[in-house]
Chains A and B, each alone.
Chain A
Amino acid sequence: MSFIKEFWEFLKIRKKYWLLPIIIVLVLFGGLIILSQGSAVAPFIYTLF
């Protein structure tokens, strides 16, 4: 619960409410994406995440 509260605070301060539907969809389909996880990221990328 504290996570949801903190994340909501974050969206409010940053005024980025439009990210909310994307995040909800992501969390809902999160499991699906996790299943599609492949091999490790290629060594030549600067990990941006």
Chain B
Amino acid sequence: MTSILGISAFYHDSAAAILVDGKIVAAAQEERFTRKKHDSGYPFNAVQFVLKYSKLKLSEIDYIVFYEKPFLKFERLLETYVALAPKGFVQFAKAMPLWLKEKLFQKKLLFDLLKKHDKKFNDEKKIYFSEHHLSHAASAYYPSPFDEAIVLTADGVGEWATTTVAIGKKNDLQIKKEIHFPHSLGLLYSAFTYYAGFKVNSGEYKLMGLAPYGEPKYSNKIKEKLIDIKNDGSFRLNQDFFNYTTGLTMTNSKFHDLFGQDPRNPKTEKITQFHMDIAASIQNVTEEIILKISKSLREEYKISNLCLAGGVALNCVANGKILEEKIFNNIWIQPAAGDAGGSLGGALALWYLELKNERIASKEDDMRGSYLGPKYSNEEIKNKLNNIGAKFYELDDNNIINRTSEDLNAGKAVGWFQGRMEFGPRALGGRSILGDARSPFMQKNLNLKVKYRESFRPFAPSVLREDVSEWFQLDVDSPYMLLVANINNNKKIEMSQKDKKLFGIDKLNIQRSEIPAVTHVDYSARVQTVHERTNPLYYKLIKKFKEKTSCPVIVNTSFNVRGEPIVNTPKDAFDCFMGTELDILVIGNYYLIKTEQNPSLKKDYTKQFELD
């Protein structure tokens, strides 16, 4: 038996993953345990969990892989600072202490931290270092259902690379091309995220959600001044307009003058039509680049499968466009496309590239629906709920499904906690908040009373796989909610002439389809297809809901409030249930009604988490 522990840490989204004989056994993000969103510290709890789940001690692990190469990153930092000196001293002075104190000595640091899991662990030679984008590429290709694929990765920056193209064939994966820092699609998107007043590295989703409210008025300006896009999709950013290489902000005054406004201050300024147009413009440019790259790669390599990873691969609108244009026959996207997935990719790269193990692509992918995190037995849940003082009912599976589908039909907001926690940023029916997609009030209600987040943000639908093409312009698997598709025309409700004239968030109040809660203002939806094989209980729930309502679509949003990591334990779920206006909580075979709970268990919950 060969076991490999993969670790990503010290940057964004620390995580741990474990492979046993090449099989993905467990993976989890540290933020879920520490309750600190995007936790970048050493993933002590995540490592503990994956070891426990695979019933291994650290000293029994054969290889440990860190997902990137610190020396190479240090080289990039030094060369950038030297090239731009004396500019950039402020950033240099912030970065260097961190590097000279610990990051440069990461092997020793890792070794010392790993020893905390098991004192018997004493072999530093077991620690390997992958490359940031190779880890992403491996996480996208190896679990995919393809024998051969083009692998495209794009994010902010790793060591030097910001965008890479690799070719995967059987067990081999070779990086063919790279675009290097400071030219980065991820950083360009993040610059606009910052400019629109959202937090960099977490608010990119909001920018994407805001885009359909605006018009891409500034696309040409972006392409004329900020980015030079070649025919093959490769690009160069005009550094005169950015500040991230030398300063402590993403953009500079020249950038602000170009668009005529300073960056939005989220504390004092509201989102206006200008910010919506900015969001629409950068989304438009991003899609153009991704499509150009995709087309040229398809042409050049004549391979019909595409795998995607890296933070930019979480731009599900752009992913949907690749699918819509039919550039590739098949697309597969790693559900943990961000840095957390690097832990898995690093481990997979070692198994196939270093140890040269055979790879046979499975018909479905190897991610097991991305349900790779902790699970709790009914006994554990019952004990916890009793300890807390919760009032609950114990129901069998059929009753759980019956009651929950009735609640959804009655317009209630349901916390749904079942089985293993998801790996990656999306809740996929393991730690989800569910609602009735047909309700015209559900989007506002969930945003403002349950999730405490901005009212413009859309919700995603979960739909039975066999019914997806009846409701959406999509007929492929999308189990990880990473593809956006339009609602079918026969489900749309056409807007009146008066409605069409509405601008921005006013559009939100117009009922646009039979499932308004999951229909964005441009009639698009971020679809999750639900499969009986990977999540039978969730599948049965939606099926029962369909029996009652003829609608196989429900709202699925992550089980958390704004700024909070998705819930991990039954206690996290109960706290979130009591701290928000969720009506029902279903954990395992236990069913809780809000109105029956002791009011003293209610907490002022939202203030516990810093808004993102």
Contacts and interface: CB of A to CB of B under 8 A. Distances in A.
Nearest to A27: B100
B75 A16 contact: yes
A35 B12 CA distance: 26
B486 interface: no
Interface of A: 2-3, 6-7, 10, 14, 16, 19, 22-23, 26-27, 30, 33-34, 36-38, 41-49
10 contacts: A3-B105, A3-B108, A6-B71, A34-B101, A41-B248, A45-B91, A45-B244, A45-B248, A47-B11, A48-B245
A48 B157 contact: yes
Contact of B82 (A6, A22, A46): A22
A16 B248 CA distance: 28
Given A6-B107, A46-B190, A38 B71 contact: no
A48 B93 contact: no
B97 A33 contact: yes
B479 to A, nearest CB: 30
Contact of A19 (B75, B103, B248): B75
B500 interface: no
B100 A19 contact: no
A6 to B, nearest CB: 7
Contact of B201 (A22, A34, A37, A46): A46
Contacts of A33: 93, 96-97, 100
A21 to B, nearest CB: 11
Contacts of A36: 93
Contacts of A41: 94, 248
Given A3-B105, A33-B100, A49-B77, A44 B93 contact: no
A12 to B, nearest CB: 12
B101 A49 contact: no
Contacts of A22: 78, 82
Contacts of B417: none
A44 B263 CA distance: 11
Given A3-B105, A22-B78, A27-B100, A46 B156 contact: yes
B248 A42 contact: yes
B187 interface: yes
A42 B156 CA distance: 17
Contact of B249 (A7, A14, A44, A49): A44
Contact of B199 (A7, A30, A43, A48): A43
B203 to A, nearest CB: 10
Given A14-B75, A44-B194, A44-B199, A49 B98 contact: yes
A27 B156 CA distance: 28
B244 A26 contact: no
A3 B110 CA distance: 13
Closest 6 CB pairs between A and B?
Answer: A49-B95, A30-B100, A34-B97, A10-B71, A42-B248, A37-B97
B605 interface: no
Contacts of B98: 49
A6 B108 CA distance: 12
Interface in B1-48: 11-12
Contacts, number: 85
B125 to A, nearest CB: 10
A26 B108 contact: no
Nearest to B76: A48
A45 B100 contact: no
A8 to B, nearest CB: 11
Given A2-B124, A6-B107, 5 more contacts: A6-B71, A14-B75, A36-B93, A37-B94, A45-B244
Given A41-B248, A43-B199, A48 B77 contact: yes
A9 B103 CA distance: 18
B575 to A, nearest CB: 26
B426 interface: no
B100 A34 contact: yes
A30 B194 CA distance: 32
Contacts of B250: 44-46
B200 interface: yes
B244 A49 contact: no
Contact of B244 (A23, A27, A48): A48
B94 A38 contact: yes
Contacts of A48: 77, 91, 95, 156-157, 181, 244-245
A49 B101 CA distance: 13
Contacts of B248: 41-42, 44-45
A45 B200 contact: yes
B194 to A, nearest CB: 5
Given A3-B107, A10-B71, A22-B82, A46 B200 contact: yes
A1 to B, nearest CB: 11
A41 B231 CA distance: 37
Given A3-B107, A3-B108, A22-B82, A47 B12 contact: yes
A3 B111 CA distance: 13
A41 B93 CA distance: 11
Contacts of A3: 104-105, 107-108
B503 interface: no
Nearest to A19: B78
A16 to B, nearest CB: 6
Contacts of B96: 26, 30, 33
